[in-house]
Amino acid sequence: MITACSSPRAVTHSGKVTPRGDFRVGGGFSYNAPQETFNRIFGSLEKNINNLEKADSLYADESFRESQAALAIWSLDPIGMNMQLSARYGIWDGFDFGFTYAGGVKVYDARYQFLGSRGTWKDSSTSGSYGSMGIQYSSQEYELPSYLGKLQSILGYKLERKDVLIPVAFSKSFGQEEKYGSVGYGFSLGRSWIKYEFDVQDIYEFVEGKVQEVSVIP
């Protein structure tokens, strides 16, 4: 399965939950190509990195602030493909629990199926529609790719992110009880908690023609 949204916002579930007592594992790929991140990363960022790396002192100028913004934007909406590995178990009829590891993100979720049959293709001939809703929690700490690794080190950048997502998914079965897969759609409601910081020492700026040390980096 290939999706087009960054983890953990890419919801790959069908409307049918894992039947009671069944254990399932799976994998997939997600790719994210946000326009704003492209603009920040492949604009003047490479030149900014080289300038910051060679400088004996850092100044809070336009180049410095552009680099800060690029790191934050990449963390919130990164470019690239991630592999996803997941495992799910059917706890009760209509309820399952799962864990997914996707691009460094740990995702835990539980789902309830409110529409459609709850059997397996082995004991049912049903081929219909399904619907489920759930709650998902994920957490991550960012280690940026090698392209931005130097910049992360120079600026002392750290980010922690936690997300809670409530996805609602519907699907139409191919074969009995999604034996051959399904086609689906849905929507989600989410809330994110993001904490980031730049731990940089000896930063200066020009104020009225004079060099002054910056005590706080916005």
Q: Specify whether the CB–CB gap between 131 and 93 falls below 8 A.
A: no
Q: Residue 205: what pLDDT?
A: 66
Total domains present in the chain: 1
User: Is 11 inside any structural domain?
Assistant: yes
Q: Residue 218: what pLDDT?
A: 45
SS3 label, residue 125 = coil
Q: Residue 128: what pLDDT?
A: 85
209: pLDDT strictly greater than 60: no
64: pLDDT strictly greater than 90: no
| Boundaries of domain holding 31 | 2-200
Residues 6+ apart with CB under 8 A from 30: 2, 3, 4, 5, 6, 7, 10, 12, 81, 82, 84, 102, 103
182: pLDDT strictly greater than 60: yes
DSSP state of 177: G
User: Is 217 inside any structural domain?
Assistant: no
pLDDT tens-digit readout, 11-44: 778 899 999 999 999 887 777 777 767 776 666 5
User: Is 14 inside any structural domain?
Assistant: yes
Looking at the whole model, is its pTM more than 0.85? Answer: no
Q: Mean pLDDT of all residues in the chain?
A: 79
User: Is 206 inside any structural domain?
Assistant: no
82: pLDDT strictly greater than 70: yes
